[in-house]
Amino acid sequence: MRCAVFDCDGTLVDGQAAVCDSMVAAFAQAGLPAPDRNAVRRIVGLSLPQAVVQLAPDAAQEQATAVVESYKASFRATRERGALQEPLYAGIRETLRALRGADWSLAVATGKSDRGLRATIATHGLEDLFDSLQGADRHPSKPHPAMLEAALVECVATPADAVMIGDTSFDIEMAKAAGVRAIGVAWGYHEPEELLHAGADIVAQTPAHLTEILLGE
């Protein structure tokens, strides 16, 4: 069976506003200067502790830990009051259903928490489409290949039968580390040139283009 493993933020959904707002709030609560929003966009995909280290490399350990906990609380509160905006990219639902209709197995490998990933998938009514959901709680941060390898096990797929689809160099590097073909997407948080430089075989310009790449093989 062919298997397509997707990143979440920047690939399936556009969650940058919520990520940036929660990160700025978390830094403020920890007494640190607000990070640049473009810098925050660029670390989307990393596990939260690693992302905070990237954004504040000189922060004391206790400050970094405080940022992580404050971010989780802020993001959870935003979701619970119904203010979280994580829209699906236009055409993604159609791509997922087309792959399912062609008997592909589907998975997600993301830097989101397990709870956050399940909530995002449920919000968009996609639960019936995925065979495996892998979040940051149980795995090392990308680009370590552990979460991708776990997804392949649950989908009963080999690296040769799989493809990793993501919008950041972290996704591409993870795919290469797992021996899996990598396809970048142009609508996310890293530029297409970065994805190709990291080793992407091709960059899909739109979800419809991604469908053509995968089902045209």
9 among known catalytic residues: yes
Half-sphere exposure of 14 (CA within 13 A, CB side): 12
Q: CA-to-CA distance for 161 and 181, rounded, in angstroms?
A: 9
The one catalytic residue among 7, 14, 167, 171: 7
Peptide linkage before 145 cis (omega within 30 of 0): no
Q: Which amino acid is at 53?
A: V
The one catalytic residue among 9, 21, 167, 171: 9
Active site residues: 7, 9
